Amino acid sequence: MTRIGIVGFGHLGKYLYEKLENDKNFEIVFVWNRSEIRDCDSLDRKYVLTNLDDFIKHKVDFIIEVAHPVISEKYGDKFLEHAHYVIGSPTALANQDTLNKLNAASAKFNKKIYVPCGAFWGANDIKKMAIQNTLKGLKITMKKHHTSLKLEGSLKEKLEKQSNWDSPLVLYEGPVRNLCHLAPNNVNTMAVGALCAQNLGFDHVQACLVADPNLTDKHVIEIEVTGPFNEKLNQNFKCTTVRSNPAIVGHVTGNQTYDSFYYSLLETLDDVNSFGIFVC
């Protein structure tokens, strides 16, 4: 049985707890949240950690962060001393020091770091191209209703200044790296893209964040991939996907993204129990 600790008990943490708690292959050994957990009858209180530093008192195989990017910065390397680490807020990895620290701990303690692809469509195809250096460009555009955006710093000011919501507002265009700390909860998908596109990375994968007043029932993500130029045929390889995910206005994440996150966990955590055909 795989022993799991969950760090963060908001929408995603609760969703994962309920799924994993009902699966005989997994045992939840602890759940931590920054504030007291009040609204979950199905949670057995014996699992609740009041101080996150006490995670070391538990024997745990995987620790899943679904709270905030700051957790990876403060605890990621400590978790990796004891367990494999699943990161739900990969915008944390746009900070090169955090990324270096976690990679070093992963190598030192022989533990893996997993980042579920969530809403990032086509991750495997993009990874294949990046590894072979045939990925020449990647642009990720995320469009959400303005009430679904939780922004920081200059982007927060830009959004607050906008009073006339007749048309979409482009909040940011540029490298993914500079956007992650300004929209830490909204652009995990872009961070996943920058990690998949390892030959381009956070500085060369392009981001575009749009607040769109018309998107009252969905989040839209466009991914534009550019591959090598074929001189004979005078054109590049190109692939564009548009993911339209039904989402209630004001919500940060659509339901299909929770399901995608959970499936990534099943693939990762249940690996040893799996058999049969694998499409790879």
Ligand X SMILES: NC(=O)c1ccc[n+]([C@@H]2O[C@H](COP(=O)([O-])OP(=O)(O)OC[C@H]3O[C@@H](n4cnc5c(N)ncnc54)[C@H](O)[C@@H]3O)[C@@H](O)[C@H]2O)c1
- Binding stretches for ligand X (CB under 6 A): 8-13, 33-35, 66-68, 70-71, 88-89, 116, 118-119, 185, 188, 252-253, 257, 261
Instruction: Report the nearest approach of ligand X to the CB of residue 34 (Å).
Output: 4
CB of 83 or CB of 93, closer to ligand X = 93
CB of 55 or CB of 228, closer to ligand X = 55
CB of 206 or CB of 257, closer to ligand X = 257
3-state secondary structure the chain: CEEEEEECCCHHHHHHHHHHHCCCCEEEEEEECCCCCCCCCCCCHHHEECCHHHHHHCCCCEEEECCCCHHHHHHHHHHHHHCEEEECCHHHHHCHHHHHHHHHHHHHHCCCEECCCCCCCCHHHHHHHHHCCCCCEEEEEEEECHHHCCCCHHHHHHHHHCCCCCCCEEEEEEEHHHHHCCCCCCCHHHHHHHHHCCCCHHHHCEEEEEECCCCCCEEEEEEEEEEEEECCCCEEEEEEEEEEEECCCCCCCCHHHHHHHHHHHHHHHCHHHCCCCCCC
CB of 73 or CB of 109, closer to ligand X = 73
**Which residue number places its CB atom closest to ligand X?**
10
Instruction: Report the nearest approach of ligand X to the CB of residue 145 (Å).
Output: 16
Instruction: Report the nearest approach of ligand X to the CB of residue 144 (Å).
Output: 13
Instruction: Report the nearest approach of ligand X to the CB of residue 181 (Å).
Output: 13
